[in-house]
Amino acid sequence: MRQAHPIERAVGMEYYVSDSDGVGGHLRREPAAFGVREREAFDVEPIDAEPGAYPHVVFRTTLSGWDTNDFASVLSDHLGMSRERVSWAGTKDKHARTTQLFSVAKVDPANLEAIDLSDVEIEILGRSGRPILFGDLAGNEFEIRISEPDDPEQVDAILDELAAFGGDGDEHSTEANDGSIRIGVPNYFGQQRFGSERPVTHEVGLAIARGDWKGAVLAYVGNPHEREREDTREARAFVAETEDWAGALDRLPNRLGYERSMCHRLAENGAEEPEDFRAALETVPTNLQRLFVNAAQSYAFNRILSARLDRELPFDEPVAGDVVCFADSDAPDGLALPDTDRTQRVTAENVGTIRRHCERGRAFVTAPLLGTKTELADGEPGEIERAVFDELGINPADFDLPGEFHSKGTRRAILLRTDVSVEHDPLTLSFALPKGSYATVVLREITKADPADL
């Protein structure tokens, strides 16, 4: 194995599993070079359905150069409504061309159709009785061009190594009929989960889980990072040194809207009790509140995967003590989708049977996203899980939190498999991933570049 980039190691991704040098290069030099289209899994009624029963208007939008959260804010402003009435299934990156679903509560479809924003296309699909929720998609399809690669010929050797890591099961030949190659990589949470420029979101979440509300605010508002602009670093350093929330408002740039909202609340409420700091954290949108805790869970998950690699335990098949989940039988063709509601513990007696299920893509080895309902594995996998959680100073009960910070937890597949098609001139990769998995964890193995270039 090969050691990962320092920025990746800071969020728990310790290794590359391919030893070949990367192709280098850059991603997202223009939005069209990073194409993402959702595999939709949300049923809608006709647009003329009764609005009282179906108050949410569902539309498909193609965005070029838009962050999902920014688009939701601008859209709600144009419609003259609260941003909380805008919902979507998956958050996408700004530096991409993305096609995805949104819903808006209690809106006149004509007002949506009248929206005229640069690089935004809107197609009204119909109505629904509930909003689209995070995860209301089967997966995403990607077509990604690598700009200015240093050594593009390396791509074939890397893919061969990733195919070996993913295993060659009875029903999953390495080379597919369409010329694509089936690969496997650790199903890490990608860098953007934690902040691509300033990876601190998990630090906020860990402080929340430990009940340190003030520490969580300081991790988000203070805590300067070397990759930030100088004025931002200076403002964050002032916060960390003085905890002068009113003074921070004079220094924090206007572009740091969430940080400013926290400081404004603290300047108002006196910042004397833990509840004051919790109230400051609750000034940000609810999806970001959830993301803080999700990022802490994700960081621990990444650490578990790296520890499993350290111990040379397999990812494509179980060992005694593992917990596996089974494949979702309703997943679209060609997209293996783990169903983490259907799990089974692996024992010395059933390991052979479950191994065959994993080989055939019918089951997946999992690791925990810690929450109040999380049950840990047994054997050596369980030792790894407990050691990571002990090092981080967290346990399931810590996630019995108020409001949006509460989490029951779940489990997640540790191996990400996909069929990759390659065009060599220009170097372009096409593949599909199940929901919740990151294209960058595939691309990092291929480029081995600074995460800033991903």
Other CB atoms closer than 10 Å to residue 11's CB: what's the count?
26
Residue 259 CA to residue 239 CA, distance in Å, equals 11
Question: Looking at this protein, which amino acid is placed at residue 314?
Answer: P
Q: Which two tokens stand for residue 200?
A: 């601190």
Transcribe 206-259 into DSSP letters: HHHHTT-HHHHHHHHHS---TTS-HHHHHHHHHHHHH--HHHHHHHS-TT-HHH
Residue 222 CA to residue 167 CA, distance in Å, equals 44
Contact status, residue 347 vs residue 328, Cβ threshold 8 Å: no
Taking each helix axis as running N to C, give the angle between helix 213-221 and helix 230-242, from 0 to 180 degrees, rounded to the nearest 10.
150
C-alpha radius of gyration, the chain, whole number: 22
Long-range contacts of 236-243 (CB under 8 A, 24+ apart): 239/263, 243/218, 243/271
Transcribe 65-81 into DSSP letters: S--HHHHHHHHHHHHTS
Count of positions (residues) in the chain:
454
What 3-state class would DSSP assign to 397? Answer: helix
- 93, 316, 322, 398: which one is catalytic? 93
Other CB atoms closer than 10 Å to residue 166's CB: what's the count?
22
Q: Which two tokens stand for residue 182?
A: 């089936």
Phi-psi region of 164 (alpha: psi -120 to 50; beta: other; left: phi over 0): alpha
93 is catalytic: yes
Active site residues: 93
